[in-house]
Amino acid sequence: MSQSLDLAPVNALDQSGFTHAFGSVFEHFPLAAERAWAQRPFASASALHDAMMDVIRKLDAKAQCDFLNLHPMLSAANIRAGTMTADSNAEQKSAGLDAMSAQQEAALDRMNAAYHARHGFPFIICVRHYTREGIFAALERRIDRSTQQELDEALAQIGAITRGRLQARLGTLA
């Protein structure tokens, strides 16, 4: 993340304005922004992101699982239905998940169901960093890992997802 961004306008926001500006960075979880606001002033975009991630990391295991369950399954049907946030929709489209064959869609749905049944939360991956084939390979590889490994991995992936989302929002404020 750019360290040279002038964060004075961000640091000057009141809690309501800050939450409005950054509350959607974390999928359906504006509390990350709301609680991070108290850590102002932020010296860098990375410090802002770290403060928001710390809110997630400090949740207990059940609350982290509940947070992860706010995230949508990777799914062409979700893209078509328009039920996801604009960020999730654009991210999933960027990986070509809106252009799968019926067989690929069915395979993804089966793997998603198996993953969720095993771990109790959806498969989460920063799709911007993967091809469609890479997503399928990662999902297949990660299904059989321990739930603790997957919780750790899901939080790391959320870190990557939200870093990009935050940078986009900061760019509009600069």
Number of Cα atoms under 13 Å in the Cβ half of residue 99: 8
Residue reference for tokens 């207990």:
60
Question: Active-site residues: which are they?
Answer: 71
Q: CA-to-CA distance for 138 and 130, rounded, in angstroms?
A: 9
Q: CA-to-CA distance for 78 and 83, rounded, in angstroms?
A: 6
Judge whether 122 and 139 are in contact, CB under 8 Å: no
